[in-house]
Amino acid sequence: MRCGSMLAVLCCGVLPAGGVGVSGAAQRALDSALAGTGAVAVVLDGQDGRPIATIRAEEAGRLASAPGSTLKPLFLAAALRQGRVRAETTVVCHGNLRIAGRDLACTHPRDENVLDAERALAYSCNAWFANLATRFAPEQAADVLREYGLGSRPGFVAEESAGMVRRPSSEAELQLFVLGLEDVEVTPAQLARAYFRLAAQLDEVPVVRRGLEGSIAYGMAHNAATPGLTIAGKTGTASDAGQAWTHGWFAGIASRGAERVVVVVYVPRGNGADAAGMAHRFFAALERMAAG
C-alpha cells in the first residue's frame, strides 16, 4: 500500500504506532535521519499538536537553551497583529551591529541592505529585529513569549523544565531578548509547541509565512529545503552562559495540502545550518517511505 505523499505516511496507518502519541513511520524516519548525531528533536502533528516522533524525549522536555533567531517570527507575528510594525516597514542594514559589546553582524548578502519585514525574516537580519525590539516595552516583549507558551511547562515529559522568560531591564537587554540571546531559554518541546501555535496564525499574518518560506527558499534555513514540500522554517544559533561553543536550532512547519507537521531540531554543538540539514534528512526519509 502506498500513501501517495510523504506527510500522508504519518497518518494513513502503513506502519503501526510506535507508542502513545508516536507514529511508527515518523519515528523510524527521525531515527534514520539523526542516527549518530547528538541532536534532540520533536515532531508534532500539525492538526492537533500531539507528538508523533522524538529523539531524546527526556532532553527535549528538560534541556533549556537560548533559542537565538527562532524567536524572530514570534515577535514579528505579534508586532503585526498589535500594529507595532507593518509588512512594508524597512530598515537599512549596514551589516555591522554591536549590542552591549556583542558582535551581531548580519551575514545576509550585502546588496540586500534595505529590508522589509518579509526579507528581514528570510535573511534573519539582526539589525531589523533589533529595531523591532524597541517598539515593545520590556514586559510587553516578555508577554509575547508567554502567549506562545514559553516560560511554562508544556506537559511533554515528567519533571520537565519551564525554561526561562525574564523581563529585560534595559534597551540593550530588550534587543538581545528579542534576538533570543539573553534572558530567555527554551526547551525543544516548548519551541515545538510555540511553532504549532504560530502555524495556526499564519493566515492572519501572511508576511510571516512568506518570510519563513523565503528562509527555506533563499535565506538562512535553506538547508532544510525538500522538493515537493512547502516548508516555513527558521534557524537559530546561540551560546549559553559560560559556553565557548554554539548550539543550533531549526524550527519549522512542513505542509503538503492539508497535511502538516511541526519539526524542531536542536544540535547541542553546532549551528542553525546543521540543524536545518538534519531536518531535511528527516523530510527526505519520509519522502522515501511514501515512494516505497
- The confidence score (pLDDT) of residue 229 equals 93
pLDDT for 7 equals 58
Q: Residue 230, SS3?
A: strand
Q: Are the CB atoms for 253 and 209 separated by under 8 Å?
A: no
d(CA 116, CA 89) in angstroms, rounded, equals 5
Q: Which of 107, 100, 116 is nearest to 181 (CA)?
A: 100
Residue 201, exposed/middle/buried by CB under 10 A (0-12, 13-18, 19+)? middle
Q: What is the spatial distance between Cα 184 and Cα 119, in angstroms, rounded to a whole number?
A: 25
Locate 68 and state its grid cell: 537565538
User: Tell me, what's the pLDDT at 18?
Assistant: 31
pLDDT confidence of 110, banded at 50, 70, 90? confident
Angle between helices 72-81 and 138-147 (to 10 degrees): 110
Say what the pLDDT of residue 107 is: 87
pLDDT of residue 13: 37
Q: Reply yes or no on whether the pLDDT at 228 is more than 60.
A: yes
From residue 9, give the alpha-carbon distance in Å to each of 18, 48, 52, 273, 290.
14, 16, 12, 26, 6
CA-to-CA distance for 261 and 195, rounded, in angstroms?
10
Question: Phi, psi at residue 254, to the nearest 5°?
Answer: -110, 135
pLDDT of residue 286: 85
pLDDT band at 111 (very low <50, low <70, confident <90, very high): confident
Q: What Cα–Cα distance (Å) separates residue 93 from each residue in 129, 133, 234, 264?
A: 11, 15, 20, 29
20 pLDDT more than 50: no
Render pLDDT for 238-263 as a digit per residue (tens, 0 to 9). 999 889 999 999 999 999 888 899 99
- Domains of the chain, CATH where assigned: 7-291 (3.40.710.10)
Closest CA to 155 of 118, 203, 189: 189
Reported as a single tens digit per residue, the pLDDT across 128-175 is: 999 999 999 999 999 999 999 999 999 999 999 999 999 999 999 999
How far apart are the C-alpha atoms of 249 and 215, rounded to whole Å? 14
pLDDT digits over 44-87, tens only? 999 999 999 999 999 999 999 999 999 999 999 999 999 999 99
Single pTM value for the model: 0.93
